[in-house]
Amino acid sequence: MDHKNRQIEGSAPSDVENATLSTPDSLPRLKDEQIKKVAGSIIWCFISKGYVSFKMGKVIVITGASRGIGAATARLAAAHGYAVCVNYLKSQKDADSIVDEIKSTGGKALAVASDISLETDVVNLFKTVDTRLGVITALVNNAGILETQMRVEEMDADRLNRIFAVNITGSFLCAKEAVRRMSRKHGGSGGAIVNVSSAASRLGSAGEYVDYAASKGAIDTLTIGLSREVAPEGIRVNAVRPAFIYTDIHANGGEPGRVDRIKAAIPMKRGGQPEEVANAIMWLLSDEASYVTGTFLDLAGGK
C-alpha cells in the first residue's frame, strides 16, 4: 500500500456507499457488501485517529413543537437545513402533521413524545435524537404551560408545582442534556440554545398568572447564568421574550381572545404572530448571531 496516498476524503461517513477498493488480480474478489464493510472499517479507523474529518449536519430539538411558536420554529428550522425533532406531550396528530409537512418539502424530521418535567423522559428524548437524527447542534426550550387566570391568594401548591415543573425544571433538564452533547469540554463541537421566556417575566402578569410570569423570570436567570457558564465551551445561550402572540396558550388561561382585548394598549396596536417569534429564534441560532450570548430579544410590540 502506498502510505503517501492513505488520505480518504469525504463529507460524511455515508460516503462509504460510494467507496471503491482496488485490489491486485491475485486477491479474491469481494462482494459489494463485503467491500462496503472493509471500506467502512478503514474510513472509521482514519476518522477515529483524526486523519479524516467530516462536517456534521445541523440537528435541532424544539420542545413543545406541535403548535404555536414551536411549530412555526420547526417549519423555519427545516427550511434552514436543520433535521428537526418535534417534541410534544399529547398532540401526536399535530406533531405528526408538522413532521409530514417538513418531509414533503425534502426535509428530515421526527416527532418524539416526552414529558419534559420528567428526567427519564428527557434523557430518552435526547437518546432518540442521537440515534435517529444525529448529534444535536441547537436546542429551543419552547415548551411551557399556564393555567386559568387567578390572583396569587387563590393559587395552591399543586398548580405552582405543575407550572414550575414544566416551565423551569423541564428547561433545565433539556439544557443539561444539550450541554452534555454540545460542550467542547465533553468532546462536542459547540452549539446554540434559545430559551423561550416571556415579557411576563418583566411585566408580572398581575391578576392573571403571576406564577407563569415568575417561572419565566427563572428562565431569564437560567439564560444569563448558563450563557456565562458554557461560553468558553463553544455554546451560545440566548432567549426571546414574546408576549401578546396569537397562540392557543391564551385559551389555556381561560381567555382565547386575550390578545384582541389587550392590543389597544400595545404601542404597535396589534398582536404578534408565531412566525415573527420563530424568525427571531432562528436569527439567534444562526451564524449571524455568532457573537451574541446571554441576551434577550423582546417581541411584545413595544410593550
* pLDDT 10s digits, 149-194: 999 999 999 999 999 999 999 999 999 999 999 999 999 999 999 9
Q: Catalytic site residue 212?
A: yes
Question: What tens digit of pLDDT does each residue of 107-164 get?
Answer: 999 999 999 999 999 999 999 999 999 999 999 999 999 999 999 999 999 999 999 9
pLDDT number for residue 127? 98
pLDDT number for residue 118? 98
Q: How far apart (Å, rounded) are the C-alpha atoms in residues 74 and 148?
A: 27
* 1-10, 200-209, 276-285: range with lowest mean pLDDT: 1-10
Residue 256 pLDDT greater than 90, yes or no:
no
Question: What tens digit of pLDDT does each residue of 19-63 get?
Answer: 444 444 444 555 566 655 665 555 445 444 444 434 469 999 999
Exposure class string for 252-287: b at 16+ Cβ within 10 A, else e: bbeeeebbeebeeebeeeebbebeebbbbbbebbee
- The answer to whether 240 and 142 have CB atoms below 8 angstroms apart is no
Q: Find the mean pLDDT for residues 63-74.
A: 98
Residue 248 pLDDT greater than 90, yes or no:
no
- The answer to whether 122 and 174 have CB atoms below 8 angstroms apart is yes
pLDDT number for residue 253? 79
Q: Find the mean pLDDT for residues 260-272.
A: 95
pLDDT number for residue 39? 56
Q: How far apart (Å, rounded) are the C-alpha atoms in residues 76 and 281?
A: 10
Residue 77 — pLDDT band, cuts 50, 70, 90?
very high
Whole-angstrom Cα Rg for the chain: 23
**Active-site residue (options: 51, 209, 212, 291):** 212
E strand residue ranges, 35-186 = 59-62, 83-88, 109-113, 138-141
pLDDT number for residue 251? 79
Q: Find the mean pLDDT for residues 69-83.
A: 98
Nearest to 136 by CA among 186, 100, 172, 83: 83
pLDDT number for residue 31? 59
The full set of domain ranges for the chain reads: 21-54, 59-299
CATH fold, domain 59-299, is Rossmann fold (3.40.50)
| Average pLDDT score over the chain | 88
